[in-house]
Structure formats: C-alpha cells, structure tokens
Amino acid sequence: MVGHGIVFHEVSHTYRPAKGREVLALDQISLEIKRGEFFALLGPSGCGKSTLLYALGGFQPLEKGSITVAGKSVTGPGPDRGIVFQNFALFPWKTVLQNVLYGLERQGRGKKERLLQAQQYIDLVHLTGFEKSYPSQLSGGMKQRVAIARMLAYEPEILLMDEPFGALDAQTKTILHEELIAIVERKPKTVVFVTHDVREAVLLSDRVAVMSARPGRIKEIVDTSHLNSRQPGLTQTIEFNAAVDHLWGLIRDDAKTARAQ
C-alpha cells in the first residue's frame, strides 16, 4: 500500500504571529498512515495535533517538509479530504438539510440527486425527522452528527476529525463512538482522528501515535489493531486496559510539562 496512503515527511512548523512570541508547533514529524487505517493522534493540549491535521487538510500551509496523499503533494483543501472540527462549525442560519447540502452544491450534481444524497447521510447519522431543524434547536451530540453527515455527504476518502466528541458528555460520546465504528465499517475510509482521550484512541483506532508536548514530535506509535472495536465489553478486557495503561505511561510526563508551560 506504500504510496497510496498519507505520508508526512519531516514536517516542521513555527507560528510567527505579528505580535507575541514565535511558537515551534511541529518539529520534524515523519509519519505514514495506510489507506483504510483508523489512525489516532494522541497528545496533551497544545502539542500540535490540530496544526498537523489542518496541514493535512490543506488549510495550514507548511513551513518545512511535505505531505503527500496517494503520492500527490497536498497544496490545499480537496474533495478527497473531509474535516470535522471540534466545535461543530455548522452554519447557524441553515437547517440540518441545508448544512448537509453545503459542499454538495459545488459538485455539480443535479438538485434531486443532491437531496437524495443529503438525506441518505442524514439517515445514516440517525437524524431522520430533523431535516428542517436549526443547529440552535439541537443538542451537542446532534450538532456533531450534522457535522459528520456534512463531511460524509460528499464522500471523501479520508476523514479528518479534530477532537469531534471532545465537548460531549460521556453517554453521548459512547453512542457516537458506536455510530462512527458502524459508519466506517459500512463505508471504508482512512480516518485521522485527533484526541487527548486515551480510551477513545484505543477504542477506535488501529494505531495510535503519541505526540510529545510542544514542540510536537511523534514519541511512539502503538499498534492497537488487535483490539476489535466491535467486540462487546471490549473496554472491560485486560488487553484493552493494558493498552490504555501503556499509552498513559507515555503521555503522563508530557501532560505535566504541558500544564507547567
């Protein structure tokens, strides 16, 4: 599969704001994500997870290094990569249906086809019946379902998710985990999932890259593909908790450093 996946090659990035001090956010990141893999980026707040994800999305120009997708250099956003942000980022003045239709409009399909496509993804995230609701009328979990449907609707091959469930309560989070697992099973995708939640990373992913506190580097990549996300009671098993403990050990020291900064 080499060459068909995502390759980060010696990616470094320094923020140079007009005011305030410069921040080295990413330091020489090299990483390969296989096609079809569910890959988590795990690390303490401020370690550069979002910067790395946005660079892959094409929203964040790179200072040094390169990113390729299926052998092609990333130079900007593209329909092969869909993104879900941490804080919903829905259009408040558009209904659920209109939000999901957004993005399809630029694809040049007929109106009827677009409506069918949008409805299919609204159904997939279990929002049937809420097509005419506005984001302000929805719970946090429902808003994030809309954001996921909007991303899925134009059928990108790669899903970029930046702490998508970070703002949700534990119960809603669990339900959306199950839904995401089912969605990815039905429509295979490459997923790059940013989180600071160790259990979430282990539950969802095939591999977890642990990033160190600023400047962001890859500390270790842990293979968790032997843990089947669909196995009932997985989070209660010894294997699951061993993986969680191992990852905690890796990020614990860095989490302390990040807090002290």
Cα angle at 257 between 256 and 260, to 5 degrees? 90
| Binding site partner of 168, from Mg ion, ligand ADP, none, Cβ cut-off 5-8 A by kind | none
Q: Which is nearer to Mg ion, 41 or 125 (CB)?
A: 41
Choose among Mg ion, ligand ADP, none what residue 24 binds, the Cβ cut-off being 5 to 8 Å by kind.
none
Q: What is the total count of residues that contact Mg ion (CB under 5 A)?
A: 1
Touching Mg ion, residues 35-94 (CB under 5 A): 50
Give the contacts of 63 (CB within 8 A, at least 6 positions apart): 12, 13, 14
Binding partner of residue 47 among Mg ion, ligand ADP, none, CB cut-off 5 to 8 Å per kind: ligand ADP
The candidate with the shortest Cα–Cα distance to 33, out of 63, 74, 4, 75, is 4
Q: Which stretch binds ligand ADP (CB under 6 A): 48-56, 66-74, 94-102, 245-253?
A: 48-56
**From Mg ion, ligand ADP, none, interface partner of 81 (C-beta below 5 to 8 A by class):** none
Site for ligand ADP in 139-178 (CB under 6 A): none
How far apart CA 215 and CA 47 sit, in angstroms, is 6
Q: Which residues are within 8 A (CB) of 204 and not within 5 positions of it... i.e. 6 or more apart?
A: 38, 40, 177, 180, 181, 191, 193, 229
Among 8, 11, 51, 191, binds ligand ADP (CB under 6 A): 51
> Please, which residues have CB within 8 angstroms of residue 79's CB and are 6 or more apart in sequence?
107, 154, 156
* CB burial of residue 211 (10 Å; 0-12, 13-18, 19+): buried
233 contributes a contact to ligand ADP by CB under 6 A: no
Q: Which of 6, 7, 11, 25 binds ligand ADP (CB under 6 A)?
A: 25
Instruction: Choose from ligand ADP, Mg ion, none: what does 214 bind? Cβ within 5-8 Å by kind.
Output: ligand ADP
Query: What three-state secondary structure class fits 42?
Result: strand
CB neighbourhood size of 228 (10 A): 9
Is residue 50 at the binding interface for ligand ADP, with CB under 6 A as the rule?
A: yes
Q: Does 15 bind ligand ADP (CB under 6 A)?
A: yes
219 belongs to the binding site for ligand ADP (CB under 6 A): no
Tally the C-alpha atoms within 13 A of residue 18's C-alpha that lie toward its C-beta. 0
Quick check: helix, strand or coil at residue 144?
A: helix
| Residues within the interface to ligand ADP (CB under 6 A) | 15, 17, 23, 25, 43, 45-51, 214
| Residues within the interface to Mg ion (CB under 5 A) | 50
